[in-house]
Homo-oligomer: A and B are copies of this chain.
Amino acid sequence: MKSYKGKVANKNEIVKKRSQDRSEETRKKILKTAAMCFSNKSYDRTSVANICELAGVSKGAFFYHFPTKKSVFLILLDNWLKELDASIEEIIKTSKDIPEALLRMTGIIKIVTNSSGGQLPLFLQFWSEASHDEDIWQATVSHYKKYQKYFSKVLDRGMKEGSIKKIDSKIASNVIVSFAVGLLLQELIDTDREDWDMISKEGFKIILDSIKR
């Protein structure tokens, strides 16, 4: 009796596991496809049907995994911000001198670009939606402010260190973030150009020159 039950349980578990795998796979597929669509066609112009068709799943599946279209968008946003957080944290941690850390931020553009799975336009979507939707605004702005503060602190540390001039760290961090954001925006619509890397490097150098002692 016991063994039988055990067998059944086992089998059920295996089946469940397999089913879970399949489910997780579907989820991932939807998420990925949605990111692609939102990026290519904008959130509004992407219909749930579009996503389902490209992902090869039914609408039933979609609404089984996610309550609404918007929820998918929010999850995508969340994932992206998490990746970004991790990347930046890592840079700062692994460089000891502040100016050096800032210079390494040069690569920030690539980080942003690459997280989100190479779908840069998603960034614009997030930003764009943020100004109209409370939920998204919360998620975006809170992170963005976090970055501001983060850079502020980093600069403060640099001043203590003596490697950076005495300046208003809040304003300076804002300047840095502005430049970074601006770079992204431009890259977005001027995709042909190949020298964004150099521009970002040069720009950061210019800013650093005025900041470091």
CB of A127 within 8 A of CB of B185, answer yes
On chain B, the residues within 8 Å of A178 by CB distance are 179, 182-183, 185-186, 199, 203
A179's partner among B168, B171, B175 (CB-CB below 8 A) is B175
**Chain B proximity mask over A172-203: 1 for CB below 8 Å, otherwise 0:** 10110111111101101110000100110011
A95: interface (CB < 8 Å): no
On chain B, the residues within 8 Å of A127 by CB distance are 124, 185, 188-189
A132: interface (CB < 8 Å): yes
CB of B41 within 8 A of CB of A132, answer yes
On chain B, the residues within 8 Å of A144 by CB distance are 186, 189-190
**Nearest CB in chain B to that of A136: its residue:** B189
User: Nearest chain B CB to A97's CB is how many angstroms away?
Assistant: 20
Interface of A: prevailing SS: helix
On chain B, the residues within 8 Å of A182 by CB distance are 177-183, 185
Chain A, range 199-213, C-beta contacts under 8 Å to B: 199, 202-203, 205-207, 209-211
User: Nearest chain B CB to A139's CB is how many angstroms away?
Assistant: 11
**Nearest CB in chain B to that of A39: its residue:** B131
13 contacts between A and B (CB under 8 A): A41-B132, A127-B188, A127-B189, A140-B189, A144-B189, A171-B198, A174-B199, A178-B183, A178-B199, A180-B182, A182-B185, A207-B210, A209-B209
